[in-house]
Structure 1
Amino acid sequence: MNLVRLLDFTGVGVFAVSGALAAGARRLDLIGVIVIATVTAVGGGTLRDLLMNRTVFWFADPAYLIAIFVAAALTMVYVRFRHPPLRQLEIADALGLAMFSISGARIAQNAGLADLIVVVIAVITGTFGGVVRDVLCNEIPMILRRGKMYASTVIIGASFYVLAPRLGVQSDVAGLAGMALIAALRLAAIVWNLKLPVFDLERHRRAP
């Protein structure tokens, strides 16, 4: 199993966990949990493949769906015996964000796309599933929450992945380092409530 495929499987599994936890927080039934887990796990990769005119990854290999269903089922069993703190949803999302974003970046890079487009594809791959999850769960999407360090962490990590090989870093090492950077920045933002500056037009209008 190559690194891209491994990251894809791990990413969909972790995102399925975050989707199942989000569905549980909304007290959805079994079908609701499966639906939210699935769209969370495949949303970003599906949009990536459609934009790149590729065969959608889970069409080509239904094993991804099996991994999603297993991850969602294990999550439901786990929470019956141990109630996870709400922060676990954010942690699971952060790990999925890191893995799936770099997976998307590698796919875009292997397709010969320009570096800027590689970073854009990484953002789409990592964030779109969470956007769909949050919309279906009637939440403001994480990527749009005021001041949240979310897509910005992907931009930083994916940019590092693109630029590091020019400094002599091996591609696989750059991928793992980019993934670690995204996860570390997102987890730091969760733990210490780090935020981006907010553009407040009304405040500027009130200023003398």
Structure 2
Amino acid sequence: MNHVLDLAGIFVFALSGALEGVRKRLDVVGMAVLAFFTAVGGGIMRDLFIGVPPAAFRDTGYLLVPIAATVVAFFWHSRVERAMPGVLVFDAAGLGLFCAVGTAKALHSGMAPLHAVFLGVCTAVGGGVIRDVLSGEMPTLLYDRQLYALPAMLGATAMAVLYTAGVRGFVATLSSAVLAFTFRILAMRYGWRAPLAWGVRGSV
């Protein structure tokens, strides 16, 4: 079940990468590159830090799903753009799942809770950073205008706390993912923003 959810999250993230390729007027190869790294870039970073072969290179689904997302964006990008509010809900679900799973994998490998939280956040937002860099944009992580990293950090922290308390497996993953998902949805709904430096006004 977790693997199916993982692939679903990868599809949504890959779709956002492929759509960014459309906006930048990239060809189908560029779209596929953005789709792949948006979807699995964070997981690759996590696995390299942990010291294990990246799952993206051991499971065919991690390659085929971004290709499928690229095909969808290539032919039906206008329709997907119109459905973006619904897609963003799935994106929030992917964010919650990835931060929880990433943290759990880091903890299971023997990392300290604080480091595991860092890798959980990397898993959730790393692909977006790579997408922004490749497409020539300032990574949204640096100014978090839509509260993307903070929900991931909240979910990853919850996962680390539950794991340390002996609550593990599906219950811990689901609880942490739902927490991050809810925070992200509320941030989108009410326009929450991370604070700027004291005395600084305006936004990027």
Structural mapping, 1:35-114, within 5 Å: 35-81=33-79, 83-84=81-82, 87=85, 90-114=88-112
| CA RMSD, 1 decimal | 2.5
Is contact 1:42–1:129 with CA below 8 Å preserved after alignment?
yes
Question: Which residue number corresponds to residue 135 of structure 1?
Answer: 133
Answer with 1 or 2: which has the greater Rg. Answer: 1
- TM-score, structure 2 as length reference: 0.85
Shift of 1:149: 1.6
Q: Deviations along 1:124-146, whole A, 9 cap, x unmatched?
A: 11111100111222222121125
Is contact 2:28–2:74 with CA below 8 Å preserved after alignment?
no
2:7 matched to 1:9?
Answer: yes
Q: Deviations along 1:146-197, whole A, 9 cap, x unmatched?
A: 5542211111111112223566755311211211211221122122110122
Any idea what SS the aligned residue of 1:118 has? helix
| Runs of 5+ consecutive residues of structure 2 not aligned to the other structure | none
- TM-score, structure 1 as length reference: 0.84
Shift of 1:25: 2.2
Any idea what SS the aligned residue of 2:196 has? coil
Q: Deviations along 1:75-124, whole A, 9 cap, x unmatched?
A: 33333556426656654543332222222112112212221122111011
Question: Which residue number corresponds to residue 206 of structure 1?
Answer: none
2:166 matched to 1:171?
Answer: no
Any idea what SS the aligned residue of 2:82 has? coil
Instruction: Determine what percentage of the aligned residue pairs are the same residue.
Output: 33
| Runs of 5+ consecutive residues of structure 1 not aligned to the other structure | 204-208
